[in-house]
Structure 1
Amino acid sequence: MRRRLIVSTLVLSIIAVTLLGVPLAIVASWLVLDETHRRVQRDADAVAAAVQIRNDQGERIDEADLTRVYENQHVTVRYPSGEVVRAGGGADGAQVRAQARTSDGALVIVSTPRSEVDRQQVSVVLLVVVIGVLAVAVTVGLAFLEARRLSLPLRDLADRADRLGSGDSLPARRRYGIAELDRVAEVLDNSATRVRTFLDAERAFATDASHQLRTPLTALSMRLEEIASSARSPEVVEEEVQAALAQVQRLAEVVEQLLAAARSGRDAELGPTDVDEVVDQQLAEWDTAFRRASRTLVREGDSGLRARASKANLSQVVATLLDNALVHGDGVTTVRMSATGQSIVVEVADEGAGVPAELVQRIFDRHVSGGDGTGLGLALARSLAEADGGRLTLARERPARFAVFLRPVRDEAPPHRVVGGPA
């Protein structure tokens, strides 16, 4: 990437300097020649004026007078009588000439060597070339610094993504001062946090599974050993078979509970969750992203609400709705919390164009998106809400307002976590 950026910048700078420098050199050369013509003409007019003054005084201008003033030029004065006065160097080679006449008819011719003009033109062209080379060098230097400034963060992000793919889910929390790269870094950090949460959940699930399955499996093994040792006693075999079947049924129930917990992303219980804490946490996490997009996050409604839901699931649902409002919405995004007789309601609304009419009925379907997204966010958010016994709906189409309905916390004791054991 760095090489491509430097080479492309070099090519563009050479093209720009060429397009600007060539016309500039041509115009500068023409200006040098034009200024020389004007200067020679001014000198011719000045000599003619001096000759006229001398004529009015009854005198003739001589070669010494002309040489003293115009030693670097060739001056010729032709009087009407045929007298010629010459001064200065020879007039060999190409010359830049100018002439003037006095009122008495005297002709004054002033010339300067064209070689002097050529030297001045070459000097101007060389100056333009030097400036162009310096401009290209400075541009390439700046491109090198910018390429280094961009490539190093990209390499770091690639390493972080590789580590994340290898299971290192510790967020780096580094920022680079470039909005786009900082956004990628923020997404990687959020992904690392979520991956860490998922890994912890998987480890917890594996631990719980081994713990809850070990006891019924041990009991079942013991029953089977009893059956094997009592093969000659039908009464004992039947009794042990019934006990083994009971343990199998118990084992099946434990497996079902574990699978339900794994599918809902929680243990086999839903404790009271402080809705304010979850919403405030998400608002704090998303505030930077909204401010970078010149957007505003506003929190309204009731406080002190508690719902029977998984904190992780509710956090993910709110995060998905805020991300959806940031990407697809516009204006102020408002998170409003309220309590009805049957539900705790969390609403996320923005001031954008809303959901297109053709997507309203399918907005929560998988792979359905109003932009370039994957179309999985809202579908997963609805699944998480439903896993906690709630629901996620599109409360208003334009501007879009989504509402999450959660079960309120009542006075009854929360359900206990189920742990498998012997029958």
Structure 2
Amino acid sequence: MNQKITLIKNAKIVNEGTIFNGDVLIEGEYIKEISESISPKSADVFVLDAEGKYLLPGAIDDQVHFREPGLTHKANIETESRAAIAGGITSFIEMPNTNPQTTTVEKLEEKFEIAAQTSFANYSFMFGGTNDNLDEILKLDVNQVAGLKLFLGSSTGNMLVDDPEVLEKIFKSTSMVISVHCEDEGTIKKNLKEHIDKFGDDIPIKYHPIIRSEEACYLSSSKAIELAEKTGARLHVFHLSTGKETNLFTNKIPLKDKKITAEVCIHHLWFSDEDYDKKGTFIKWNPAVKTEKDRDQLWKALLDDRIDVIATDHAPHTIDEKKNVYTNAPSGGPLVQHALPAMLEMYHKGKISLEKIVEKMCHNPAILFQVARRGYIKEGYFADLVLVDLNNPWTVIKENTLYKCGWSPFEGTTFKSRITHTFLNGSLVYQNSKFSNIKSAKRLTFNR
């Protein structure tokens, strides 16, 4: 359904720290008007009655791995962006560790071309830094690319940046957000060797957070922050997993003025090491899911604004790959379809408000990456909007899981809330579990 003019009536609008009853008029790609009551001006207006539902800005996921090019047996931009739309995520920023890696401007543009043809959601990509591609980094147009991604641990291929001189040069050379994966490789290698000596390759999964330990995370993230403070770089630390790391960040200044920011992912807020017995390698992530105490401290830092963003680190692998013994089972899992429902479940449990969910999943990624005209319900902004029914339970099963890999770490979980409608750039692209045939996705742009 592709009406040029849509009127959403009687919604509970969640935006900028408030919830209010109102109507939203969409003309073309944009939000034209927000008011307590808007009357349709002509018979051509498509009116959607949202009585009893909550209207949220579309979520912006700042960290996904959609596996294209080169790893498309696991996932691709088309399948995973479609799952994202069903989960209320309307924009994504995808990571550079594909095959080939996104470490040249040419390879970056090839990914943009794929997304322009196949993506269901708005898209941008991070550019990957290596020990030897500073010349390529300097060619980037800062208004056309989401940011720079550096692996300071747990990298694939040659993407581990472990030369201190190169690292400092990169930090000094760009005004873009530098997003980092922080785990100390030396610590992990030492811990892994000890466990292989004891167990062989079939290490019990419960030792994953001991191998990829708090020490490994803290050592790496504290060094990255020290370097950012020394060079004045704009640093964003991905997927915090330990309580100790949260003390490295501040809530004393507004996000727009922060030079050093942090993200937490859904799995580190939901699972703990007590879940390894039941879930096994299906909740093997890097950094590892750690203790209940770590999870509690991550929640505390999220709610007091030391942590700025909630993301997914969506990183699918096939079931067969995940069923391997510990040393051969890859880390990562699919999350974009279930991230917002999981956070809404936490709202039902009294852990977080709807306003705070919107702040961390919609507003703050837009502020942090300076995304142009998205992340809010505002007149003149793109109409990326999500309607949610907070009392429409459903259970995650294989048959309603949309990831190409065909599984979810949430399988068997019943969520109370359901995404009923997703609008993308003014078009209704998803309604009551059905997708329209409209491709309205756009390349994200940035105001820098």
**TM-score computed with the length of structure 2 as normaliser:** 0.19
Larger strand percent: 2
- Larger RCO, structure (CA 8 Å, separation 6 or more): 2
Larger Rg: 1
Larger helix percent: 1
